[in-house]
Structures are given as C-alpha cells and as structure tokens.
Amino acid sequence: MNKVQNNRAWWLILPMLLLVAFSAIIPLMTVVNYSVQDVFDANTRFFTGAEWFKEMLNDPELHAAVLRQFAFSLTVLAIEVPLGIGIALLMPKKGWQASAVLILVTMPLLIPWNVVGSIWQIFTRGDIGLMGWSLRELGYGYNITASPVDAWVTIILMDVWHWTPLIALLCYSGLRSIPDAYYQAARIDRASKWAVFRFIQLPKLTNVLVIGVLLRFMHSFMIYAEPFVLTGGGPGSSTTFLSQSLTTMAIGQQDLGPSAAFSLIYFLIILLVSWVFYTAIMNMQKDNKKEGEA
Amino acid sequence: MEWMVWTTPTAIFFSVIAAMLAGMTAWEVTSPSLERKGFLPIATTRGDRLFIGLLSTAYIHLMVVGFTPLSLWLALGISILWMLILMRWG
C-alpha cells in the first residue's frame, strides 16, 4: 500500500516554534556567546575562548557544589520514593476517608517554594520555632545557622515534607488502576502481603515511579528557593547548591562570562540525565508492549 | 543583533548546527530513517544518533578543556571521528 506523505500540518507548529525561539532558543544562544567572552558593557568585550570553561571545570567550590547537589538529589530520592510508596499503600481506598486523606496528603504540594522555606525557617528557630524550641528543651543544641549537619538534616526533612506527597499521589493513582482480578488470583494462591506487593503492585507501579523519579530528580537538582530562604546556603557554604552558586556568580558578582560557561555545564548535566531517564522510560514501555504481544 | 554579542566562533558553531539540522531534514525527506540496532545498547534512528553524538561531543570538549592541556582542535578531531563512527555503526 502506498501511503501518501503529507506533512503540511507541520506548518501549524510554526507559531509555537517562533515563541520558543524568542523565549528559549535565542537567549540560550546569547548565553553561549557570553561564555566565550569577557563582557564589561555593551561596547567593551574581549574574546577569551574556552578560558571560562577551563576555570569553571577546575573551580574547587563548584566541584563541591556539584557533589553536594548529587548527594542531596540522591538522598531525597532514596527517602521520598520508598516513603511515598508506603504512604500510597496505607491510604484508604474508598469512601469519605479516601477523599479526606487525599486532601491532607496533597496540602504541602500547594504551598509555594519560598513559603515552605519561611515556614521551616520559623519552625526551626530556637526561640520561637516549635521544632527548634522543643529540640533545645530536650537538651540537643540544635542550630541550623551553626551546624552543617543540622542544616542538612533540616533541608532534607523539608524536601521530604514538601515532595513525598507527589510520589504518594502518583503511586496511589497507579495502585488504583490495578484490576481486582490480580488480587483475586493472588488470594486463590494464598499469596502473602509481601508477595502481592513484590509481584503485582510494584511491577504495575514501574511506569508512574519512573515519572516520579524523573520529576523529583529534575526538581531537586534545580532546587533554589527553599534552602535559600531556610539557610541562605550556610553555614559557610555547606548547603549551597548549584543554582545558588550560579545566582551568586551571575547576579551578585555580575561575572557574566564564567556564569554563562557554568550555566552551559549545568545545562549539559541536566540534559544528559533527562535524556537517560527519557530513554529508559521509552524502552521500558517498548519492552512492556512486546511482553503484552507475546 | 549587536546585543547578542556575537563572535565569529559562536556564529560558525550555530551555523554548523543549523546546517546539520537542515541536512538531516533533507536526508529524512529523501530517504526516511529506519530504527535499527548498532553497537549502542538501544535501537536508534539517525536523529537519535545525531543527538547522542552532539551530546557526547560536548562532553568530550569539556573533558579536554577542563582536565587536559591538549588543544581544542584535537577534541574537535576526536569528536568528528566519533560522530562518523556513531552515525555509521551506532
């Protein structure tokens, strides 16, 4: 059969392409231009070649920030994913309780980033904050402005509090879509709760989990407002993550060349990780389809 | 376009990328690409291989600039070679 190829419909995406060019592609090209020059003002600029890239790639502070960023992202993933699955499994399945629990669980997701930061900033203060005050009364010298460990634990707690609901919601919807027949078959086999989880629920959750992990990784990798409000990157630079280093460099010090080079490196890391996740999802779906056909 | 602070090397860089995209489009129209499996662990189309090639090329350049005293032209040479291998056998 000869299929007539008619691709004229592609012209319909032209307006969108123009918008994206205006808002993303052209600014990105400008960043590339900045990254190879030392720009002082509109008329004074010097070509520096790959100098900024060399400097950024060898900057020990940025190395530390990259390591901190990966440590943070992997830690929150390692806590939020199992916790989210657990919460989803415990949530009631029907009736008014289901709606009530859903609303309660979703609440943290509705709060803007810097408000979350402010809530936790007050919550952890030693003099007026509930958590800070209680911990001090219990005899622990809790202080996020002086102890890097306290600051880290608090930021991770805050992120878990803010974003575990997302994983829980995704898993909850994934669990609801498993047909009853699977559970009935498991009951006939007298499968244990663990076996039901391991061989029915977890495999059926794979797709939503991949999306959840991808979203959480991207989000946590670009985290800015929450730690900025809570700790300001301190004590020292122990909670300064990548986007904050970048902002300090670009806005605070007006070092446009180095920060442009750094942005491009940051962009390449995110691009690589997103592509790996995306390819993994696509291949998983392909494999699932093949299994379905077989 | 003065506000974009263009330089000759960046202009050449983007022209080459644009030419690649245009070339790939023309190639796709004259002979549509089939997904196939080469030495990469996943089945890829021509466009996938170009993307993988460009991304790895960026990393090759960063490695050479950041961690070796070697010339960038060497990185470019390696990249072109890698790109050809990837497009043909990837």
Is A20 a domain residue?
no
What mean pLDDT value characterizes chain A? 86
In a domain, A110, yes or no: yes
Total number of domains constituting chain A: 1
pLDDT > 70: percent of chain A: 95
Mutate to test the interface with B, among A6, A28, A33, A269 (most CBs of B within 10 A): A33
What six digits make up the tokens of A250? 């670009």
d(Cα A256, Cα A8) in Å, to the nearest integer? 42
Q: What whole-number distance in Å separates Cα of residue A241 and Cα of residue A72?
A: 9
Which pair of structure tokens corresponds to residue A15?
Answer: 């307006």
CB contact (8 A) between residue A33 and residue B51:
no
In a domain, A35, yes or no: no
Q: In angstroms, what CA-CA distances link A21 with A24, A26, A98, B55?
A: 6, 6, 45, 20
What is residue B90's predicted lDDT score, i.e. its pLDDT?
A: 79
Is the CB of A32 less than 8 angstroms away from the CB of B58?
no
**b/e per residue A103-131 (b: at least 16 CB within 10 A):** eebeebeeeebeebbbbbbebbbbeebeb
Q: Choosing among B4, B13, B25, B45, which should be mutated to test the A contact, i.e. which has the most A CBs within 10 A? A: B4
Structure tokens belonging to residue A263: 């942005």
Q: Residue A220 falls within a domain, yes or no?
A: yes
In a domain, A90, yes or no: yes
Q: What are the boundaries of each domain within chain B? A: 1-32, 36-90
Give B11-62 pLDDT, tens digit per residue: 999 999 999 999 998 998 898 888 888 888 888 888 899 999 999 999 999 9
Which tokens hold the place of A251?
A: 């806005």
Convert the pLDDT of each residue in A111-138 to its tens digit.
988 899 899 988 988 888 888 888 888 8
Asked if the Cβ–Cβ distance from A32 to B10 is below 8 Å, we say: yes
Burial class (CB in 10 A: 0-12, 13-18, 19+), A56: buried
pLDDT-derived band at A290, boundaries 50, 70, 90: low
Domain of A191 in residue numbering reads as 60-293
Q: How confident is the model at residue A56 (pLDDT cuts 50, 70, 90)?
A: confident
C-alpha B85/C-alpha B90 separation (Å) is: 7
Q: Give the CATH number, domain containing residue A93.
A: 1.10.3720.10
- Per DSSP, the three-state class of A128 is coil
By C-alpha distance, the chain A residue nearest B1 is A30
Asked if residues B40 and B52 have their Cβ atoms less than 8 Å apart, the reply is: yes
B interface with A, Cβ–Cβ < 8 A, is 2-7, 9-10, 13-14, 42, 51, 55, 58-59, 62, 65-67, 72
pLDDT given at position B29: 87
Interface A-B: count of C-beta contacts within 8 A: 55
Contact B4 A32 (CB under 8 A): no
Rounded to a whole number of angstroms, the distance from the CA of B41 to the nearest CA of chain A is 11
- What value of ipTM does the predicted structure carry? 0.90
Q: Which of A26, A47, A268 sits opposite B58 (nearest CB)?
A: A268
